[in-house]
Amino acid sequence: MLRHQANHYSIIGDVQDFPELTSVLETNSPEPSTFKRDYKALFEIDNIRDQVIGNRSYTFSTCFLAREKSASTWLQLLSDASDNYRIALKSLMDLQGDFGGYLSHQEIVAATGLKERDVSWIMRNIDNLEISQIVHTLEGNALSRITSGTLLNMNYRDLVNAQSILVLTRQEPRSIEMLNILQDNKQLVEDDLTDKYESAIPVQRTINSLMSIGLIRQKGRTNEGIYELTPLKGNEKFIDDVLAVAAHSRHVIDPDYDITKSLDEQYSGMDEEKFKRGTEQLQLDYFKEAEEELRK
């Protein structure tokens, strides 16, 4: 059994403190014949990520990306620079932090005043930087920051696109109460919730989202409207993590928040090619700073 997991331990160990060339990981593999299979398995559960930098493929540990030291290095690089793209990037990251670590595509459109396609390439560049990652929600894409201190640092093995629920908790605040009910009772009763909130809309929105990631399933006959917590390992811990993040972020958000054109000045005239080249250089700068910090 340990022999079959040798590549897993080797890969994680080699990138725990600093990214490594993927080719080096394969060369050093204790089980070369199964390296690609084992590498893919770690990638699929989001324990590792890869990125091409300077035409060379590097492998990152998700834990390395999420830790506080990594975040402080990014902040330093963004705060010290006067380049337009870094100012724009930092302003978006600051807004994301103010809103609990996640922003929907439409919120970024509203804040920047840019067209939807322009926001799409900005989000892709940020996703490539690994400062935040794109997650898919029932209502489109969102940017979600890797959340240190919880299992939300990675995708849950038995849940699909688990981080999308972070966006739901702000777009539909009553979903937080429903998650608390699910945590206590291990089930949700649709009719009871509709009576409680005097509306079927927030209930359906929450149930559909929780069903889509696989956190709940129908119990009994379809027309009974009873949904139970799916008995998968880690699901109760997942609810704890989501509620912890939501509790930390909700206090900074006014129920009637309006971010329309709050980043209009920073993103005015933003050029896609310059932004892409700038973020690529920023990533190289990050690599240099992180390596110097590691060697101190």
- Split the chain (296 residues) into runs of 10 and give each run's mean pLDDT: 66 77 89 88 76 77 64 79 85 82 86 94 87 71 65 59 74 88 94 94 93 90 86 79 69 66 92 86 81 62
Beta bridge partner(s), residue 59: 20, 50
Same fold, 6-65 and 69-146+259-294: yes
Strands 140-145 and 48-53 turn out to be unpaired
Beta bridge partner(s), residue 58: 21, 51
Please tell me the predicted confidence (pLDDT) of residue 67: 60
Rounded distance between C-alpha atoms, residue 131 and residue 207, angstroms: 30
CATH of 6-65, one of 2.40.30.10, 1.10.3720.10, 1.10.10.10, 1.10.1060.10: 1.10.10.10
Q: Output the pTM of the full model.
A: 0.61
8 Å CB contact between 237 and 151? yes
Please tell me the predicted confidence (pLDDT) of residue 99: 75
Q: How many CB atoms lie within 10 A of CB 132?
A: 20
CATH of region 157-250: 1.10.10.10
b (16+ CB within 10 A) / e for 222-254: eeebbbebeeeeebeebbebbeebbeebeeeee
Rounded distance between C-alpha atoms, residue 155 and residue 136, angstroms: 12
Please tell me the predicted confidence (pLDDT) of residue 121: 93
Structural domain spans, the chain? 6-65, 69-146+259-294, 157-250
Please tell me the predicted confidence (pLDDT) of residue 106: 87
User: H helices within the chain, ranges in order?
Assistant: 6-15, 22-27, 35-44, 62-66, 68-80, 84-98, 105-112, 116-129, 164-171, 174-185, 190-197, 201-213, 235-250, 264-267, 272-294
8 Å CB contact between 132 and 147? no
Those residues whose C-beta lies under 8 Å from the C-beta of residue 224, and which sit 6 or more positions away, are: none
C-alpha Rg value of the chain to the nearest Å: 21
CATH of 69-146+259-294, one of 1.10.10, 1.10.405, 1.20.120, 4.10.280: 1.10.10
Q: Give tens-digit pLDDT for 171-188.
A: 788 898 999 999 999 999
Angle, alpha carbons 246-249-254 (nearest 5°) = 110
Q: How many CB atoms lie within 10 A of CB 25?
A: 21
Give, rounded to a whole angstrom, the gap between the first and last alpha carbons of the chain. 37
